[in-house]
């Protein structure tokens, strides 16, 4: 992965249509994650019947010091989704998406700036 490149989040649903994972983020340069605790971790959980959530933990000082647009999520790919959703929203903004019924894959390109550093 290149520094400052946006993320593509891949979600592989289990038989209950749920998934979880995490993204670890630091400055990718120093050992401040060990010395100063300067890092963040985004805990991702998906329950297709309700929502996809991102809860961020780590150094609030480091998180707040990151420039706007850093740790950007460019797209979300959900695999194993039995049918297409009618609509998708982030912060009350409707999102466009593409659904491949044959492969049961939903791709959500994010036009709105979505950061992995924000809940």
Which pLDDT value is given to residue 113? 63
- The token duo for 111 is 């036009």
How open is the CA angle 110-84-69, to the nearest 5 degrees? Answer: 10
Residue 23 token pair: 């993204």
What is the tens place of the pLDDT at every residue in 74-101? 888 999 998 888 888 877 878 889 999 9
Domains of the chain, CATH where assigned: 7-109 (2.60.40.1180)
Task: Assign 3-class secondary structure to 36-105.
Answer: CCCCEEEEEEEECCCEEEEEEEECHHHHHHCCCCCCEEEEEEEECCCCCCCCEEECCEEECCEEECCCCE
Chain centroid to CA 113: 11
| pLDDT above 80 (res 67) | no
DSSP state of 29: S
Res 32: pLDDT: 82
pLDDT at 119 over 70: no
Range with the poorest average pLDDT among 71-75, 105-109, 115-119: 115-119
Amino acid 40: pLDDT: 86
pLDDT tens-digit profile of 8-55? 889 999 999 999 998 888 887 888 888 888 888 888 888 887 778 878
Residue 5 backbone dihedrals phi, psi, to 5 degrees: -75, 145
Q: Tell me the whole-structure pTM to 2 decimals.
A: 0.78
């Amino acid at each position: 992965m290149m520094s400052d490149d946006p993320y593509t989040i891949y979600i592989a649903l289990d038989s209950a249509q749920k998934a979880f994972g995490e993204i670890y983020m630091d400055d990718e340069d120093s050992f401040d994650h060990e010395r100063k605790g300067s890092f963040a971790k985004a805990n991702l959980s998906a329950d297709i019947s309700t929502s996809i959530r991102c809860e961020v933990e780590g150094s609030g000082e480091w998180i707040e010091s990151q420039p706007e647009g850093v740790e950007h999520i460019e797209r979300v790919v959900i695999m194993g989704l039995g049918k297409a959703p009618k609509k998708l929203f982030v912060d009350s903004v409707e999102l466009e998406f593409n659904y491949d019924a044959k492969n049961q894959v939903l791709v959500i390109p994010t036009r709105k700036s979505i950061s992995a550093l924000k809940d």
